Chains A and B, each alone.
Chain A
């Protein structure tokens, strides 16, 4: 129980943080990998990958939620297999909410990381190679550290986007108290009940506070990073 919050608020806040956290954990490795492919590789059909990655950005979230339900629902193509093989059910569970949030936020992560991969000085990677570094070492010691600002931006955007995810979540995993009722869904629920406006206002303020906190933390980290990388070229 968090001081000053009602059980319902605490539940929604903790659940939101958990969903957003897992969404970030899913998006980070996958997003960096896809961003690298899009930034560095050239292959036929690249436009298709690029398009699919960006779809959640332009599709109505409800459509994304519905597609997830069709694919990942218990009788869905992938969902059925997951259920029979691993006994995992995504539909109507908080794990499903994390997946929905991750899919919706994925393009933001990819764009942020891709941008930093495309703008970094690739000559530095060549310099590392001439110094005897193999591809893995080049990646770990040069590429990744120099992309950290982009990765940080992507992480914050993903986290914030996941906190606010509504349409795909409610379509895919519904609005189950304690399981999939995140902050926005809780807010939606209380606004459906006529009467006292205070619970809705409180939930809205909590959302604002969490978002502001995320922004401040990211700003602090970004400053430390740019001080480290140096202001010069």
Chain B
């Protein structure tokens, strides 16, 4: 268990954050830039000293203002991957990698394994200035791993990279999930990174923790904070069932039934996450027969949330998930939609974003 409950004042910005996350898997700190995510990770690392509160990792208290505990950064046994890599410019890649090497103590991979895991074999004798952005970031990740951390902190490790480089690194990050004994705290404001990597989601907004829980739960119960590109997208966890090569479709198994999406490249059994925008769900009182939509699910209306002057979001309970459908207020009125009504939710196959879940 990782416990954080801290208050930090930095100029006019105040952070007051408390959350607990499981001590395995990937916890994502998600929120807009300036929301306080980085301050939280820096506090965990001891690079920022909170004004109040307590931080504990695996029962080990790293910081406790009241008890006067403040373990120096060097003795916190962490790995920290910075946004901009921060490789030592005067050392070769090899020396960078070995800088923090500690006695293994069963934590994390050794040099050879790390080099293989991150594809660094050809870079070992080079200087950081001769590396591309993506290569630097891989070295930075390797360096953090080799310090045998009990907790790996990653502060937007992909943010300084362009789309191609991000795509290059994401699989390596996913590879880290295999190292089950090292929990990861991953800071990002990119929903796709979080959907593909995280198990647990801590939503940070204006210096506060707005929500905290398993990714699907937080992402579906919560409108992701305004300003993030895909707000109100509902996230579902599914598993690939099979493919229909003729029409190039993929069938996914979901708690609400089978779901068809445009064909994806993932073998059956793979976990995927879906992002479904409210506009891609429509509501029908009729059964599935009279529609072109492939995905029709029985659902129960659980509530309404106004969305602008002309539209309203209908919250639907289907399977184990809450879906969100955006309809005009006029349609809602014409259909006589009301709470607890049984309806059908139609999801357009082409409106679904699929993220293949990276897992070991």
Q: Chain A contacts of B100 at CB under 8 A?
A: 128, 130-133
**Any chain A CB within 8 A of the CB of B225?**
no
Write out, one digit per residue, whether chain B residues 63-82 have a CB within 8 A of any chain A CB (1) or not (0).
00000000011111111101
Query: Quick one: which of B45, B74, B79, B102 has the most chain A CB within 10 A?
Result: B74
- What mask results when residues 121 to 137 of chain A are scored 1 for a CB within 8 Å of chain B, else 0? 10110111111111100
In the bound complex, how far is the Cα of B127 from the Cα of A231, in angstroms? 10
Q: Cβ of A127 and Cβ of B82 under 8 Å apart? A: yes
Indicate if the CB atoms of A124 and B86 lie closer than 8 Å.
Answer: yes
Assembled-state Cα–Cα distance A228/B130 (Å): 11
- Asked if B88 and A230 sit within 8 Å, CB to CB, the answer is no
Within 8 A of A (CB), among B23-46: 45-46
Contact between B89 and A129 (Cβ–Cβ < 8 Å)? Answer: no
B147 within 8 A of A: yes
Could you tell me if A126 and B47 are in contact, using CB atoms closer than 8 angstroms? yes
Residue in contact with B82 in the complex, picked from A123, A142, A228, CB distance below 8 Å:
A123
State in angstroms the CA–CA spacing of A177 and B219 once bound together.
86
Instruction: Tell me if B90 counts as interface (CB < 8 A to partner A).
Output: yes
Q: What number of B residues sit within 8 Å (CB to CB) of A?
A: 29
A62 at the interface (CB under 8 A from B): no
**Whole-angstrom CA separation of A114 from B88 in the bound complex:** 20
A145 lies within 8 A of chain B by Cβ: yes
- Verify B86–A123 contact, CB threshold 8 A: yes
Q: Which residues of B contact A233 (CB under 8 A)?
A: 129
A230 touching B82 by the CB < 8 A rule? no
Min C-beta distance of B114 to chain A, whole Å:
14
Q: Complex formed: what's the CA distance from A168 to B92 in Å?
A: 46
Known: A134-B74, A230-B130, A232-B129. A127 touches B80 (CB 8 A): yes
Evaluate contact between A232 and B47: CB separation under 8 angstroms. no
Nearest chain B CB to A133's CB is how many angstroms away? 6
B102 contacts A127, CB within 8 Å? no
A:190-233 near B, CB below 8 Å: 228-233
**Is A229 in contact with B90, judged by CB distance below 8 angstroms?**
yes
Asked if B258 is at the interface of the complex by the 8 Å CB criterion, the answer is no
A146 within 8 A of B: yes
- Whether A133 touches B74, Cβ cut-off 8 Å, given contacts A121-B86, A145-B90, is yes
Contact B74–A132 (Cβ < 8 Å): yes
| Complex partner residue of B128 from A126, A131, A145, A230, CB under 8 angstroms | A230
Whether B129 lies near A126 (C-beta < 8 A) is no
Tell me the complex Cα distance, A195–B82, Å: 71
**Contact partners of A132 in chain B: CB under 8 A:** 74-75, 77, 100, 102, 147
Which chain B residues border A230 with CB–CB below 8 Å? Answer: 89, 127-130
Our pick among B76, B77, B86 for the contact of A127 (Cβ within 8 Å) is B86
Query: Would A130 and B79 count as touching, CB distance under 8 A?
Result: yes
Q: Closest CB of chain A to B223's CB: distance in Å?
A: 35
CA distance A230 to B80 in the complex (A): 24
Contact A130 B45 (CB under 8 A): yes
Which residue of B80, B90, B129, B130 contacts A146 across the interface (Cβ within 8 Å)?
Answer: B90
A147 shortest CB reach to chain B, Å: 11
In the bound complex, residues from chain A placing their C-beta under 8 Å from that of B102 are 132
Q: Does B138 contact A (CB under 8 A)?
A: no
Residues of B within 8 A of A127 (CB): 80, 82, 86, 88
- Measured in the bound complex, the distance between the Cα atoms of B78 and A229 in whole Å is 27
Q: Is the CB of B73 within 8 A of A126?
A: yes
**Residue ID in chain A nearest B99 by CB atoms:** A131
Task: Give me 17 A-to-B residue pairs in the complex whose CB atoms sit less than 8 angstroms apart, sorted by A's number.
Answer: A123-B84, A126-B47, A126-B73, A126-B86, A128-B88, A128-B99, A130-B45, A130-B78, A130-B79, A130-B80, A132-B75, A133-B100, A141-B88, A142-B88, A145-B90, A146-B89, A228-B90
Instruction: Using A126-B86, A131-B143, A141-B88 as known contacts, list a sample of 9 further A-B pairs with CB atoms less than 8 Å apart, ordered by residue number in A.
Output: A128-B88, A130-B78, A130-B80, A130-B100, A130-B144, A133-B100, A145-B90, A229-B90, A230-B89
Chain A residues in contact with chain B, CB under 8 A? Answer: 121, 123-124, 126-135, 141-142, 145-146, 228-233
- 6 tightest A-B CB contacts, nearest first: A230-B129, A131-B100, A232-B129, A130-B80, A129-B73, A127-B86
